[in-house]
């Protein structure tokens, strides 16, 4: 081990390195916004919406303040509220469930498959006459099994709200994440693959009326300068963030390519190591928002890797149904066995686009060393 290796620090993300790659473009764009002073509703916002629309191949994109707002405004636009149920997995980032509660509806959980995504059979089992929508979460960059989910939705006339926060650019059966259901909801939080310099999100839909309603809801419910058709909120994307996202959208294919390359190297170099890594299905194109492995020796492995200068994380350590905030839903430990077991066994390895082949090899040999 040379001195460099001994001091090696490998992080989950590398935002300073990202800035170095695009410094000139970003600084020019930021200066442009300050010169024009079009901080709210500038031209860049509309341009970004068109560019996202072209990239995703969907007719309507409405940019918003966050991915959480994308989820809750999608439900508001559908008229989902008190008395309605929305089916979602309990192993997501808390925002998916929180958005359901925010509109006054009831989250109903369905357990997940070994690949961490919602189990269509579990969804079908909890449909009731009050169910209004299914909210699958495409966790880790891998899309949920949409064909059976869409069949269930059709059969029971349910809306499908894709939580695509972790899967921009991912595809399933040749279709882009977010474009299969009624709505696709995206986050452009700094830690996502397409990331702003602060909070940001957007919602996509093929339905012009629903898109128009969300455009009103994001801007106080205003239909023109002075008339309000319904009570809205403020969830507009800042022009500065739109400029940043326009630049980063151009870089996104390269970001995805580099993350996929890292994931392939992990698979090759970790072959034979006693870790569960969900296999890639032919039907999917995974963008690796995270690279998650599973082992019943997770906590020790995480500590060992930390001594090697390798930062790992857990997405997510506490299942949503066991959060103190979810107490009113009345779920006990044991209710969603797969999710609960995964919460104890999952470990997220760094997969960001700035890692070198050498970095990934170093992580893999450290993992091999642990299991040896």
Ligand X SMILES: *Cc1c(COP(=O)(O)O)cnc(C)c1O
Residues that bind ligand X (CB under 6 A): 66-68, 92-93, 95-96, 137, 163, 165-166, 187, 189, 199, 201
* Shortest spacing between CB 244 and ligand X, in angstroms: 14
Q: Is the distance from CB of 153 to CB of 159 less than 8 angstroms?
A: yes
Rounded to 5 degrees, what angle do the CA atoms 170, 119, 285 make?
15
Q: Which is nearer to ligand X, 69 or 340 (CB)?
A: 69
Q: Which is nearer to ligand X, 18 or 97 (CB)?
A: 97
Closest CA to 298 of 367, 244, 216, 197: 367
Q: Which is nearer to ligand X, 68 or 353 (CB)?
A: 68
Spatial distance between the Cα atoms of 291 and 277, rounded to a whole number of angstroms: 9
* Shortest spacing between CB 195 and ligand X, in angstroms: 10
Q: Which is nearer to ligand X, 15 or 273 (CB)?
A: 15
* Shortest spacing between CB 369 and ligand X, in angstroms: 31
Q: Which is nearer to ligand X, 65 or 265 (CB)?
A: 65
Q: Is the distance from CB of 100 to CB of 76 less than 8 angstroms?
A: no
Provide the sign of the torsion angle of the four alpha carbons 256, 258, 262, 268, taken in this order: positive
Rounded to 5 degrees, what angle do the CA atoms 273, 307, 2 make?
90
Q: Which is nearer to ligand X, 186 or 285 (CB)?
A: 186
Enumerate the active-site residues. 192
Which residue is at the shortest CB distance from ligand X? 67
Burial of 292 (0-12, 13-18, 19+ CB in 10 A): buried
Sequential DSSP letters for 78-94: TT--TT-EEEE-TTS-T
* Shortest spacing between CB 318 and ligand X, in angstroms: 15
* Shortest spacing between CB 284 and ligand X, in angstroms: 17
For residue 183, the SS3 value is strand
Closest CA to 120 of 155, 95, 166: 155
294 - beta bridge partners?
Answer: 276, 346
Q: Is the distance from CB of 243 to CB of 44 less than 8 angstroms?
A: yes
Spatial distance between the Cα atoms of 286 and 138, rounded to a whole number of angstroms: 10
* Shortest spacing between CB 105 and ligand X, in angstroms: 16
């Amino acid at each position: 081990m040379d001195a460099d290796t001994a001091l090696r620090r490998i992080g989950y993300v590398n935002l300073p390195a990202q800035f170095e790659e695009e410094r000139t473009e970003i600084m020019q764009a930021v200066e442009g916004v300050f010169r024009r002073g079009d901080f709210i509703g500038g031209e860049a916002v509309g341009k970004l919406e068109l560019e996202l629309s072209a990239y995703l191949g969907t007719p309507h994109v409405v940019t918003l303040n966050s991915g959480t707002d994308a989820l809750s405004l999608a439900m508001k636009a559908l008229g989902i509220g008190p008395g309605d149920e929305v089916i979602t997995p309990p192993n997501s980032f808390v925002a998916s469930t929180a958005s359901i509660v925010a509109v006054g509806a009831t989250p109903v959980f369905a357990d997940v498959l070994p690949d961490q995504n919602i189990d269509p059979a579990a969804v079908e089992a909890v449909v009731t006459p009050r169910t209004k929508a299914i909210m699958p979460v495409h966790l880790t960059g891998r899309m949920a099994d949409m064909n059976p989910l869409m069949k269930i939705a059709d059969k029971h006339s349910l809306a499908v709200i894709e939580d695509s926060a972790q899967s921009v650019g991912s595809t399933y059966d040749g279709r882009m994440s977010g474009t299969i259901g009624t709505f696709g909801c995206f986050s452009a939080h700094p830690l996502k693959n397409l990331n702003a310099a602060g909070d940001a999100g957007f919602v996509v839909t093929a339905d012009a009326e629903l898109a128009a309603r969300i455009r009103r809801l994001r801007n106080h419910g205003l239909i023109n300068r002075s008339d309000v058709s319904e009570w809205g909120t403020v969830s507009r994307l800042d022009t500065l963030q739109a400029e940043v996202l326009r630049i980063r959208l151009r870089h996104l294919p390269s970001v995805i390519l580099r993350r996929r390359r890292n994931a392939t190297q992990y698979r090759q170099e970790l072959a034979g190591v006693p870790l569960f890594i969900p296999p890639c299905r032919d039907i999917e194109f995974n963008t690796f928002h995270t690279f998650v492995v599973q082992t019943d020796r997770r906590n020790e492995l995480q500590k060992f890797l930390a001594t090697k200068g390798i930062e790992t994380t857990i997405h997510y350590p506490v299942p949503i149904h066991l959060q103190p905030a979810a107490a009113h839903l009345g779920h006990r430990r044991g209710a969603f066995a797969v999710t609960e077991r995964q919460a104890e066994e999952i470990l997220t390895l760094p997969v960001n686009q700035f890692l070198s082949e050498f970095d990934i090899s170093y992580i893999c040999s450290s993992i091999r060393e642990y299991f040896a």
